[in-house]
């Protein structure tokens, strides 16, 4: 890395505070990297030039589906990025947009067992329900997908407070509780332990969290359980849904080689550097099972997050330098006219 680099951060206020961007900026400043907090509501060109932009535009992307102002903000961002090909985006917008749609991210997860056959890694069977009309054929489709009760029902959109509202469906009689568009995913008993894997470039970190308790496989006449996933899998979560009903032998910890293989495969499939994957271990088969992929997650419980992110930023800049590509800020420094 040569000279002083400029890294733009484009985050919601909430994300900015949560990740403590001010502390990260200080760390970067000590190492010749200037962090610039971008304001999407203002023209972006005068805020640049940027060597890299790190962003989480999930709110804006989801809202742009129905909100004119968000559409405008997104278009503004996209046109800045297209006009500045020397600026590296962490991560690419299409890759992030894909993960905001559970229909798309579950398709990616469902292909993992092919590429990771040697590691016995899979994801639960699922069914995408597009509209209420699809419900009549649900049971036939379930049989085709080898999907059996209990099921966990999740919204199609994977971002925002509603996306954490889920339900556990125990029989066909409760299928009317499902509100499409949504996915029905096979529930896998996993001893109430969630393994959250956080990825930063070529490093990854595993953290354990509480998770849903075991439920017997097969249909039963239990009523649908509605819950918010924050009640069960945040570090501080404590709920009757995470307390096991029975004594259970401890499951073996996930193999670190298998986790590394999973992360590597997802890096390739997603083309992203900042993401997370939630993994559970099936209590019957001990198979590593991926249940969720997250965009630029919180990295809670990962004290190395800042240093890893800074290392990754420096590495990306170095790589660009060695390939001879010049960033927009270097164009500026050498008197090149900006494409603004």
For residue 253, list its beta bridge partners. none
Q: Which of residues 90-119 bind ligand ADP (CB under 6 A)?
A: none
> By C-beta, is 53 or 184 nearer to Mg ion?
184
Minimum distance between the CB of residue 79 and ligand ADP, rounded to whole angstroms?
31
Using rule CB under 6 A, residue 293 touches ligand ADP: no
Given a contact cutoff of 8 angstroms between Cβ atoms, the answer to whether 8 and 40 are in contact is no
Minimum distance between the CB of residue 292 and Mg ion, rounded to whole angstroms?
4
Among 64, 138, 229, 329, binds ligand ADP (CB under 6 A): 229
> By C-beta, is 89 or 99 nearer to Mg ion?
99
Among 51, 292, 328, 330, binds Mg ion (CB under 5 A): 292
> By C-beta, is 4 or 14 nearer to ligand ADP?
14
- Helix residue ranges, H only, 190-300: 229-233, 256-270
> What is the spatial distance between Cα 249 and Cα 18, in angstroms, rounded to a whole number?
36
Positive or negative torsion for Cα 9, 15, 17, 20: negative
Given a contact cutoff of 8 angstroms between Cβ atoms, the answer to whether 226 and 169 are in contact is no
Among 233, 308, 327, 329, binds ligand ADP (CB under 6 A): 233
Is 17 exposed, middle or buried (CB count within 10 Å of its CB: 0-12, 13-18, 19+)?
exposed
Minimum distance between the CB of residue 165 and ligand ADP, rounded to whole angstroms?
9
Using rule CB under 6 A, residue 275 touches ligand ADP: no
State the binding partner of 259 from ligand ADP, Mg ion, none, CB within 5 to 8 A by kind: none
State the binding partner of 90 from ligand ADP, Mg ion, none, CB within 5 to 8 A by kind: none
> What is the spatial distance between Cα 184 and Cα 149, in angstroms, rounded to a whole number?
10
Using rule CB under 6 A, residue 185 touches ligand ADP: yes
| Sequence-distant (≥ 6) Cβ neighbours of residue 294 within 8 angstroms | 99, 275, 276, 277, 278
> By C-beta, is 161 or 334 nearer to ligand ADP?
161
Minimum distance between the CB of residue 123 and ligand ADP, rounded to whole angstroms?
8
Among 51, 91, 278, 330, binds ligand ADP (CB under 6 A): 278
Q: Which of 46, 24, 48, 78 is nearest to 313 (CA)?
A: 24
Among 90, 200, 288, 291, binds ligand ADP (CB under 6 A): 291
282-312 in b/e form (b: 16+ CB < 10 A) is bbeeebbbbbbbbbbbbbeebeebbebbbbb
How many chain residues touch Mg ion (CB under 5 A)? 2
The label of the residue with tokens 């699809």 reads 134
Using rule CB under 6 A, residue 213 touches ligand ADP: no
> What is the spatial distance between Cα 292 and Cα 123, in angstroms, rounded to a whole number?
9
Using rule CB under 6 A, residue 194 touches ligand ADP: yes
Is 23 exposed, middle or buried (CB count within 10 Å of its CB: 0-12, 13-18, 19+)?
exposed
For residue 275, list its beta bridge partners. 199, 295
For binding to ligand ADP (CB under 6 A), which residues are involved?
A: 124, 152, 154, 158, 163-164, 185-188, 190, 194, 211-212, 229, 232-233, 278, 280, 291-292
For binding to Mg ion (CB under 5 A), which residues are involved?
A: 278, 292
């Amino acid at each position: 890395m040569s000279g002083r680099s400029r890294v733009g951060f484009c985050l919601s206020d909430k994300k900015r505070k949560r990740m403590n961007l001010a502390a990260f900026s200080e760390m970067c400043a000590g190492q010749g990297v200037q962090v610039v907090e971008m304001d999407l509501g203002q023209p972006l060109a005068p805020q640049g030039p940027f060597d890299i932009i790190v962003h989480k535009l999930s709110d804006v992307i989801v809202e742009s589906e129905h909100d004119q102002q968000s559409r405008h903000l997104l278009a503004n961002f996209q046109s800045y990025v297209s006009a500045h090909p020397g600026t590296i985006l962490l991560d690419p917008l299409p890759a992030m947009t894909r993960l905001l749609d559970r229909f798309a991210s579950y398709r990616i997860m469902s292909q993992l067992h092919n590429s990771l056959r040697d590691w016995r890694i899979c994801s639960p069977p699922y069914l995408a329900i597009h509209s209420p009309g699809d419900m009549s054929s649900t049971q036939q489709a379930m049989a085709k997908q080898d999907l059996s009760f209990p099921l966990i029902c999740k919204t199609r959109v994977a971002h925002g407070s509603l996306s954490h509202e889920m339900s556990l469906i125990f029989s066909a009689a409760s299928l009317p509780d499902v509100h499409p568009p949504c996915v029905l995913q096979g529930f896998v008993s996993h001893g109430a332990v969630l393994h959250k894997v956080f990825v930063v470039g070529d490093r990854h970190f595993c953290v354990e969290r509480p998770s849903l308790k075991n439920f017997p496989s097969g249909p039963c006449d239990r009523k649908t359980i509605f819950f918010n996933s924050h009640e069960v899998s945040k570090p501080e979560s404590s709920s009757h849904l995470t307390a096991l009903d029975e004594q259970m032998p401890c499951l073996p910890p996930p193999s670190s080689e298998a986790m590394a293989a999973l992360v590597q495969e997802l890096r390739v499939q997603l083309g992203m550097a900042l993401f997370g994957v939630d993994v559970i271990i099936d209590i019957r088969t001990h198979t590593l099972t991926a249940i969720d992929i997250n965009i630029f997650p919180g990295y809670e419980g990962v004290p190395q997050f800042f240093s890893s992110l800074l290392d990754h930023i420096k590495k990306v800049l170095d790589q660009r330098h060695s390939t001879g590509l010049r960033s927009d800020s270097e164009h500026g420094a050498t008197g090149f006219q900006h494409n603004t």
